[in-house]
Chains A and B, each alone.
Chain A
Amino acid sequence: MNDPLKTGGSGLLDELYREIILDHYRRPRNHDPLKTPTCSADGANPLCGDTIHLEVGLDDHTIEDIAFAGAGCSISQASASMMTEYVKGRTVEEARKGAEAFQQMMTTGETQDLEGFDDIDALQGVSKFPARVKCASLAWKTLEQALEGGGVASTEEGETSHD
């Protein structure tokens, strides 16, 4: 940013809300609860009120099935939908690699050279909006929580809102 007084603008908006993201938001994939989940976890982003409930069906080390439910902004829910599509049918190890790659993308703003990551790469623009990184990351943090045996994932230790 050369001129701090010239930030924002609608070009950035298109970068944040790519069409594929809005598509996942409007038509979330893997949204029906599993009949027999082997593990589950709940994630919350206290600052925004985003929530995600994740159910995983593990067969040995493979994520045979996965489903999410939740409420929140388009970024948080689209990211969850994309995450479930990516990890379904992959091994736990691959899913963890995906989570790492996602975190990397949020930190560096660079797309990840990972097979099957194409849709998820569309979230790359989120890295330019620090306030929204937590929204995008919630699904992956909840997944890690579920794979570690369940419980509650939070993007915050405590509340820091000032209004």
Chain B
Amino acid sequence: MTITTPEVDHQPFDIERIRRDFPILKREIGDRQLVYLDNAATSQRPVQVLAEMTRFYRDHNANIHRGVHTLSVEATDLYEEARRKIARFVNARRAEEIIFTRNTTESINLVAHGWGRKFLEAGDEVVISEIEHHSNIVPWQMLRDERGIVLKYIPMQPDGTLDLEAARNIIGPKTKLLAITAMSNALGTIVPLDVLVPMAKEHGAKVLVDGAQSVPHLPVDVQALDVDFLAFSAHKMLGPTGMGALWARYEILDAMNPFMGGGDMILTVTMERSTWADVPAKFEAGTPNVGGAVGFGVAVDYLSALGMDAVRAHEVELTDYALRRLGDVPGVTIFGPPSAEERGGVISFELEGVHPHDVGQVLDTHGVAVRTGHHCAQPVMAALTVPATARASFYLYNTPEEVDRLAVALEEVARFFGGA
């Protein structure tokens, strides 16, 4: 029983063929063709993912595990096959190291509950950074308030990069966990894990990486990174919403407490007590999102077929062009690292004299979809001393022509609100 590996042979990276796989890109907003530049919030899905999810529900749907009937066996096989695909995608040692969750947020909360509550004590230090998404801040603040752990932040520098010298002083013998993003969702900053991870390991700390933005856009190898946890979401990498994953070292997962209790996560249940199932079932209580897992598996097939190096190269080229093109628009200030090599395909900016919400609203009438607001990263906004920014974020299907559409529309916005 297999779900077909999608027929993706767009080598070398063929943008026109890729775009044909995403029918939504032909959508019109008013009378303009959509320019979708909100990929850091969620990506679009190719027809291959949609087709295989439909095929699952049409031909194989059943609840998984312990079923003796054919459909249940097929659905279980497909669910576990998806786990193997995702394990290969991040180069996990074994498929059981992948726990299916709803999203990155749930993956991080799973670690805070299952590992943090079991292994952290009052006075232990968890180090995060000022550029984290709220999903990698709030769970640790909650654990701090509950357990008396100490939460420390690696500060951001004015260009959106982390202060690595400060990090060297913040990460120390009391550090039990470094929980850090690999790429800022608000600024695109790529965090130098090769520098930070050894600092934590030197003190025997565990390392959790928030890969929500990095896993969809950069090649990832958990063994080479030498980290302990990696959290990521399917919907930002061509897969369905409501689907995410946590990768962690098997021995750590084995030692952790379960996250939620219920069906599928137990070995035995009596009226008095229960015992836990093995990893990964221990962490997957209740009927999981089987169709979502199937879609997630096809999404990583699609990315693997293109090659993550090619995806990254395309985005560097596009981001480099966008930094120059948008930088030429009068009144535009771009936040974050200056070069495309130091950032993902995320450009946060402001237009002088025009509030980001007004920018976003007018861009929408040009068919250009960007996100405006604090991007769930209020500490970043505070450090930049702006209430909000507008953010354009790219993916493998975006083109230089779309960057031009954004730039021209921004010039229109400036004219529209001119005279302020």
Q: Considering the complex, which residues of chain A in the window 146-163 have a beta carbon less than 8 Å from any beta carbon of chain B?
A: 159, 161-163
Q: Considering the complex, which residues of chain A in the window 49-82 have a beta carbon less than 8 Å from any beta carbon of chain B?
A: 49-51, 71-75
In the complex, are the beta carbons of A16 and B29 less than 8 A apart?
no
Task: Determine whether B102 belongs to the interface, using a CB cutoff of 8 Å to chain A.
Answer: no
In the complex, are the beta carbons of B357 and A5 less than 8 A apart?
no
In Å, the complex CA distance between A8 and B28 comes to 9
In the complex, are the beta carbons of B375 and A163 less than 8 A apart?
yes
The 6 closest A-B pairs by CB, nearest first: A9-B30, A49-B387, A73-B355, A73-B357, A8-B30, A13-B365
Contacts of A7 in B (CB 8 A): 29-30
Mind listing 5 A-B residue pairs with CB under 8 Å?
A48-B388, A49-B373, A49-B387, A50-B387, A129-B361
Task: Determine whether A105 belongs to the interface, using a CB cutoff of 8 Å to chain B.
Answer: no
Task: Determine whether A6 belongs to the interface, using a CB cutoff of 8 Å to chain B.
Answer: yes
In the complex, are the beta carbons of A9 and B365 less than 8 A apart?
yes
In the complex, are the beta carbons of B41 and A162 less than 8 A apart?
yes
With A8-B30, A8-B364 already in contact, the answer to whether A163 and B185 are too (CB < 8 A) is yes
Name B's A-contacting residues (CB within 8 A). Answer: 27-32, 40-41, 134, 185, 354-358, 361-362, 364-367, 371, 373-376, 381, 387-388, 416-417, 419-420
Question: Which listed residue (A5, A17, A51) contacts B28, Cβ 8 A?
Answer: A5
- Contact mask A1-28 → B, CB, 8 Å, 1/0? 0000111111111001100001001100
Contacts of A5 in B (CB 8 A): 27-28
In Å, the complex CA distance between A162 and B358 comes to 19
Contacts of B366 in A (CB 8 A): 10
A129: nearest chain-B partner, CB-CB:
B361
In the complex, are the beta carbons of A163 and B420 less than 8 A apart?
no
Contacts of B416 in A (CB 8 A): 17
> Which of B355, B381, B416 has most chain A Cβ within 10 Å?
B355
In the complex, are the beta carbons of B29 and A47 less than 8 A apart?
no
In Å, the complex CA distance between A25 and B358 comes to 12
Task: Determine whether A132 belongs to the interface, using a CB cutoff of 8 Å to chain B.
Answer: yes
Contacts of B374 in A (CB 8 A): 49, 161
Question: Which listed residue (B30, B371, B376) contacts A6, Cβ 8 A?
Answer: B30
In the complex, are the beta carbons of A26 and B419 less than 8 A apart?
yes
In Å, the complex CA distance between A109 and B101 comes to 41
B60 to A: closest C-beta gap in Å = 31
